[in-house]
Amino acid sequence: MTPAQIALVQSTFPKISSDPDKAAKIFYEELFALEPEFRELFKGDMEVQGRKLMDMLAKLIGGMNRPESLLLPLFNLGRKHKGTGVKKEHFRPFGTAYLKMVEKMVGPAAFTPELHDAYLDIYKLAAGVMRKAM
Ligand code: HEM
């Protein structure tokens, strides 16, 4: 990622992190609308799950200046996904739902192609490491 992309993401992320419960709710609504059968993979409380997801997203975005610091946490997160029924091909709809959530949280006017691509690059980094760990 370029420094400009990192700055773009970090300057818009407060619009998401200021209401993590709403962001998580939007995310899972989008995800389950795309892939209803994913619902049964999640065994725990979805509010707790949503907070864990948003905490991880905050950690990723905060760490973009030093991506090497994210490798071990992402690797460990990927290993945790092993045995949960999550498959490598699930990452594509998960990424689509994540970008929809970003769009809804920042608003259509701020969701420029540049912003889309910057948020997508973060997802690609995270998903790439996690999928290798699986
Ligand atoms: C970059 C991609 C992803 C991120 C950042 C992410 C993040 C997380 C986090 C932070 C947790 C909680 C782990 C813990 O309890 O310590 C988790 C659990 C989980 N994730 Fe993901 N995840 C990703 C991809 C996926 C995909 C593609 C699926 C497939 C639907 C998925 C399904 C699950 C499930 C089923 C759990 C366990 C929930 C439970 O305990 O019931 N994740 N994920």
Q: How confident is the model at residue 5 (pLDDT cuts 50, 70, 90)?
A: very high
Q: For residues 65-78, give the mean pLDDT.
A: 96
Find the CATH number of the domain harbouring 45. 1.10.490.10
- Regarding the beta carbon of 88 and ligand 1, being less than 6 Å apart is answered no
Q: Please give the pLDDT value at position 31.
A: 98
- Regarding the beta carbon of 51 and ligand 1, being less than 6 Å apart is answered no
Gap between the Cα atoms of 97 and 27, Å rounded = 6
Domain that holds residue 29: 3-133
Query: Residue 85 Cα, ligand 1 centroid: separation in angstroms?
Result: 10
Give me 21's structure tokens. 């419960």
Q: How confident is the model at residue 28 (pLDDT cuts 50, 70, 90)?
A: very high
Q: For residues 14-36, give the mean pLDDT.
A: 98
**Choice from 53, 99, 129 to test ligand 1 binding pocket (greatest atom count within 8 A of CB):** 53
Percent of the chain whose predicted confidence (pLDDT) is above 90: 99
Q: How confident is the model at residue 131 (pLDDT cuts 50, 70, 90)?
A: very high
- Regarding the beta carbon of 60 and ligand 1, being less than 6 Å apart is answered no
What is the count of structural domains for the chain? 1
The pLDDT tens digits of the residues spanning 43-63 come to 999 999 999 999 999 999 999
The pLDDT tens digits of the residues spanning 96-127 come to 999 999 999 999 999 999 999 999 999 999 99
- Regarding the beta carbon of 130 and ligand 1, being less than 6 Å apart is answered yes
Gap between the Cα atoms of 31 and 11, Å rounded = 25
- Nearest-atom index, ligand 1, CA of 84: 35
State the DSSP code for 2.
Answer: -
Query: Residue with the nearest Cα to atom 7 of ligand 1?
Result: 53
Gap between the Cα atoms of 85 and 127, Å rounded = 16
